[in-house]
Amino acid sequence: MPTRTPPDPTDKPFAPAGTARPAGPADPAASQLDVAADLSALLRDSATEPRPDTQLEALTLAVAADLPVLLWGEPGIGKTAALTQLAASLDLPLTTVIASVHEPSDFSGLPVLGDDPAVQGVPLAPPDWAVRLVRAGKGLLFLDELSTAPPAVQAALLRLVLERRIGSLRLPPGVRIVAAANPRSSAADGWELSPPLANRFVHLQWTHDHEVVVRGLGGTWPRATLPRLDPERLPQAVEFARRAVCGLLTARPALVHRLPSAEARRGGPWPSPRSWEMTLVLIAFATAAGSSRDVLSQLVRGTVGDGPGLELLASLDRLDLPDPETLLADPVAAVLPERGDLRQAVLDGVVAAVRARPDRPRWDAAWALLVKAVETGAPDLVVVPATTLATLRREDWDVPVSIESLAGVVALSRRADRAAGRATARIAATTRTGR
């Protein structure tokens, strides 16, 4: 006769699925896990605040312009956290796809056999995350670890990034694409980005700000908000952007398309008709939003590269300069730029305008502008324009009284030049004689 094992008093009676367990003593282990979960929730709880952050503003501006963005930064720098916070701030569902763990067919579409492939063909079915984005109608698609994706996967991503197509499915206009990558030196089995894929992104260098990190760990992070575009400035913003880009490329045709010779640089921003078009869009958006020069600099250099980007920024500065004819027409109301290089360019332009069409009123007006420049800025900037303007005087033109206030500045500058010349000569003589 088999022996029955007496029931263990610590065993709990079996309850079928869907029925509640009978009340019993609290499980100490379970209660500790609940407390641990509460503590974790408190640690995750954080607030946001409006705070100037140029890289976050550049990111949101590019997202608003519906341009694909690629964030470059070392591991652990906060790229993923920034994208999570951005999606929450913009009320966009976040879909994260780790590019390096997918096959090319995951982005080009999975072939599905139908009833009669010879007649109907073989359709390419999209992955589930793409279907969810289409159903939502909006979202933030985050392509993470892009620099660890092999070349075959990068090739499959081309159509997704540029045309927003995955197989036979097209992502809705409400979906924005942002990617993140680590430099090859710090990426796990990293690859250089292919030039065709790199040229489709706005590249932003993501770095950490000590104050932002400290305040964020204390529970308050910067808030990402879409730029406020001024409806009244839209036509002027488009005209300004087209004039800036077309003006530079007219003067520098070699910049229209310049594929870098070094392989490492081909995986970053470089100028092409496609990237210049993105640059034009970003300038228009930045102008309409009233963004700072630092934000515009990050966006422009992240689209066409540092060299062409800095040339464009310099030409943008000169587009904002006042017209010399306007200044000559009313020198009393003239407002000169604060930056020394821009002020020098304006004064040189005024003198050039007088040289091109010299007459007594314009000559007098130019002297009045030089006096205003001395009174409101660095006096040494007027030395060359004043000397040139003086050579334009005709015999029947009386010397204006305003020149007297400039005489001391020009004389002092010349004495300083002569003193510097004598000092240089003494140094040269000492070097030759050894004493």
Give the pLDDT confidence of 394-413 residue by residue, as tens digits.
Answer: 888 887 776 666 665 555 44
Indicate whether 419 and 279 sit together in one domain. Answer: no
318-346 pLDDT, tens per residue?
A: 777 888 888 999 988 888 888 887 888 88
Q: Over range 370-374, report the average pLDDT.
A: 86
Read off the amino acid at residue 419. Answer: A
User: In the prediction, which pLDDT does 390 show?
Assistant: 84
Last residue of a domain, one of 166, 201, 222: 222
Indicate whether 266 and 397 sit together in one domain. Answer: no
Last residue of a domain, one of 192, 222, 252: 222
Residues of the chain with pLDDT > 90, as a percent, come to 35
Which residues fall within 8 angstroms of residue 327, CB to CB, at 6 or more apart?
334, 346, 350, 365, 369
Indicate whether 300 and 399 sit together in one domain. Answer: no
| Residue at 328 is within a domain | yes
- Number of structural domains (the chain) is 3
Read off the amino acid at residue 181. Answer: A
**Domain, as residue range, for 246:** 231-319
According to the per-residue pLDDT averaged within each range, which of 103-112, 364-373, 405-414 is highest? Answer: 364-373
Read off the amino acid at residue 3. Answer: T
Mean pLDDT of the chain: 82
| Residue at 36 is within a domain | no
pLDDT band at 423 (very low <50, low <70, confident <90, very high): very low
User: In the prediction, which pLDDT does 241 show?
Assistant: 95
Indicate whether 311 and 350 sit together in one domain. Answer: no
Burial class from Cβ neighbours inside 10 Å (0-12, 13-18, 19+) for residue 384 reads middle
Instruction: State yes or no: pLDDT of 294 exceeds 80.
Output: yes
Last residue of a domain, one of 193, 222, 251: 222
Q: Could you give the C-alpha distances from 47 to 153, 215, 220, in angstroms and in order?
A: 38, 10, 5
- Label the pairing between strands 169-170 and 165-166: antiparallel
According to the per-residue pLDDT averaged within each range, which of 4-8, 43-47, 274-278, 381-385 is highest? Answer: 274-278
Q: Per DSSP, what are the bridge partners of residue 143? A: 97, 179
End-to-end CA distance of the chain: 122
Indicate whether 282 and 296 sit together in one domain. Answer: yes
Instruction: State yes or no: pLDDT of 81 exceeds 60.
Output: yes
Query: CA 23, CA 12: separation in Å to the nearest integer?
Result: 11
| Residue at 201 is within a domain | yes
CA atoms within 13 A on the CB side of 419: 6
Ranges of H-type helices in 199-292: 210-217, 234-251, 263-266, 273-289
User: In the prediction, which pLDDT does 424 show?
Assistant: 47
Indicate whether 270 and 353 sit together in one domain. Answer: no
pLDDT band at 10 (very low <50, low <70, confident <90, very high): very low
194-205 pLDDT, tens per residue?
A: 999 999 999 999
Query: CA 205, CA 112: separation in Å to the nearest integer?
Result: 40
| Residue at 9 is within a domain | no
Indicate whether 249 and 159 sit together in one domain. Answer: no
Instruction: State yes or no: pLDDT of 166 exceeds 60.
Output: yes
Asked whether 217 and 45 are in contact (CB, 8 A), the reply is: no
| Residue at 45 is within a domain | no
Ranges of H-type helices in 12-111: 28-44, 54-64, 79-89, 105-108
248-286 pLDDT, tens per residue?
A: 998 889 999 999 988 878 999 999 999 999 999 999 999
| Residue at 3 is within a domain | no
Which residues fall within 8 angstroms of residue 282, CB to CB, at 6 or more apart?
61, 62, 65, 67, 202, 296, 299, 300, 303
Domain CATH number, residue 194: 3.40.50.300
User: In the prediction, which pLDDT does 417 show?
Assistant: 42
User: In the prediction, which pLDDT does 397 show?
Assistant: 84
User: In the prediction, which pLDDT does 25 show?
Assistant: 55
Indicate whether 335 and 397 sit together in one domain. Answer: yes
| Residue at 41 is within a domain | no
User: In the prediction, which pLDDT does 189 show?
Assistant: 62
Residues of the chain with pLDDT > 70, as a percent, come to 82
Indicate whether 385 and 283 sit together in one domain. Answer: no
Report the alpha-carbon angle 155-158-162, nearest 5.
Answer: 175
Ranges of H-type helices in 128-191: 128-136, 151-163
Indicate whether 215 and 92 sit together in one domain. Answer: yes
Higher confidence at residue 158 or residue 117?
158
Indicate whether 68 and 213 sit together in one domain. Answer: yes
Higher confidence at residue 189 or residue 40?
40
| Residue at 11 is within a domain | no
Query: CA 372, CA 327: separation in Å to the nearest integer?
Result: 11
Higher confidence at residue 68 or residue 191?
68
Sign, CA dihedral 63-69-72-73, equals positive
Indicate whether 91 and 171 sit together in one domain. Answer: yes
Question: What's the pTM?
Answer: 0.72
Higher confidence at residue 108 or residue 234?
234
